[in-house]
Amino acid sequence: MIKKTILKSYAELIVRSGIALKKGQEVVIRAQVELEPFAELVARECYRAGASRVCFEWQSSKMARLLAKYGKEKVISVPTPMEIGLQEYETETLPATIWLDGDDPDGLKGVDSEKWGRVTAAKMAVYGPYRKKRDNKYQWTIVGVPTVAWAKKVFPDLPKGKAVEKLWEAVLTCARAIDGNGIRNWEEHEKTLKEKCAKLNSLRLKELHYTSSNGTDLTVGLIPGVIFLGGGEKTLDGTLFQPNMPSEECFTSPCRGKAEGVVYASKPLAYNGQLIENFHLVFKDGKAVEAYAEKGEEALRSILSIDEGSAYLGECALVPFESPINELGFLFYNTLFDENAVCHLALGRGFTNLYPDFEKYTSEELEEKGINYSASHVDFMIGTRDLKIVGTTEAGEKVTVFENGTWAI
């Protein structure tokens, strides 16, 4: 099994670099109940770093499945007082938040996806105002931590123990923590991503045109001045944290209402226990107006109907086809990892912190400027070996940004 010293260094990376914990700050850790041993390592590191209190939000794929299967829709669509209380606590206290992501990819397999989509939409509508109030004010990070169910999904032919060990090796490799030097490795990776984003921002792009031999032919409009960002992000008080580990992307938020054409997914999408395969979307006036999938089409359509903004794009992310994650050669069935394998788009919420001087505007004003708002944010992968992306600058010049699936700048 993975040495405990390596796991401790991973926990240190999560706390010191991931959430960049400040002395006296409170922490919320979200994790599957199975992950208590590793969650304890992370909590211990939080206290060592000066946390005043560490709270846990325990999750269970099995219990979620029972709720989705047997719960009456009109009842489970209403958040409980405990759930509302958590939103109020996080909004008022702004604790640093850690999600130890080890969810079972098949946890909701076979449930009524349309019903669960409506339940999700109803609850997210309630949570939305709370989330807006704490946007860009606190540190958060999502990291992978293997569970048996996840490991067996990725490596079905291996015994449980071997599957978990192999998935741990993959997770730590992607997080640049397999050698026990995660903090130093991330500092170097951060520099590389920031340099690439600086090149993109210097181009002052107003449009991206995606084409690929699989049928993708999509043009996406960008918002003047909105930046590309990669790696660490900053809170309003200037604290640098790493929201996603791993992360290989340089991303931006496109202009709501400016997307035309068709885009084909290049990898399956694991969503709420459903595997959506061989799918494509047709966009008109920025909105996904048609959706087709060989498998999981109901789940795909449920994504588009979560709320008014969930059928619009909130993110364009550029990731070279030869990324370390893609080179591993297998599907993680986990969006945190699979989205960072190749280029991807996201339906739903955009990122307000990408707009120039965003702190001077209200959320509503940023939405008026073109940043899409939705309670949801669902990434799907579109990168291929022959993907080409041509940008148009504000001056009208054409610039090839990606050629043959990788950087051309």
Over residues 340-356, the pLDDT tens digits come to 999 999 999 999 999 99
pLDDT at 393: 97
| Contacting residues for 113 by C-beta, under 8 A, at least 6 apart | 272, 274, 296, 298, 299, 302
Quote the number of domains for the chain: 2
* CATH number for position 142: 3.40.1830.10
Shared-domain flag, residues 332 and 367:
yes
- Any idea what the Cα angle at residue 55 is, between residues 51 and 61, rounded to 5°? 140
What's the confidence (pLDDT) of residue 1? 76
Binned at pLDDT 50, 70 and 90, residue 14 comes out as very high
Show contacts of 49-54: CB within 8 Å, 24+ apart.
49/15, 49/16, 49/21, 49/23, 50/21, 50/22, 50/23, 50/24, 50/25, 51/21, 51/24, 51/25, 51/26, 51/27, 51/96, 52/24, 52/25, 52/26, 53/26, 53/27, 54/26, 54/27, 54/28, 54/29
Mean pLDDT, rounded, for 153-167: 97
Q: What's the pLDDT at 111?
A: 87
Q: Is residue 165 part of a domain?
A: yes
Residues 274 and 163 in one domain: no
Q: Which helix (H) or strand (E) covers residue 135, if one does?
A: none
Give yes or no: residues 363 and 280 share one domain.
yes
| Same domain flag for 246 and 147 | no
Q: Does residue 213 carry a pLDDT above 80?
A: yes
Task: Please write the tens of the pLDDT for every residue from 320-377.
Answer: 999 999 999 999 999 899 999 999 999 999 999 999 999 899 889 999 999 999 988 9
Question: Do 137 and 244 have their domain in common?
Answer: no
For residue 273, what pLDDT band results from cuts at 50, 70 and 90? confident
d(CA 273, CA 216): 26
Asked if residue 137 and residue 27 are part of one domain, the reply reads: yes
E runs forming strands in 179-239: 205-211, 217-222, 233-234
pLDDT for position 275: 87
pLDDT at 387 > cutoff 90: yes
- Domain containing 250 equals 201-402
Q: Say if 105 falls within a structural domain.
A: yes
Q: Return the SS3 of 282.
A: strand
Same domain, 33 and 99: yes
Whether residue 191 is contained in a domain is answered as: no
Give the separation between CA 190 and CA 249, rounded to whole angstroms. Answer: 11
CA dihedral 132, 143, 196, 409 (to 10 degrees): -110
Asked if 225 and 371 sit in the same domain, the reply is yes
Segment 300-308 shows an average pLDDT of 92
Average of pLDDT values for 26-54? 97
Look up the pTM and report it.
0.90
143 and 8 in a common domain: yes
pLDDT on residue 274: 81
Residue 229 counted as domain residue: yes
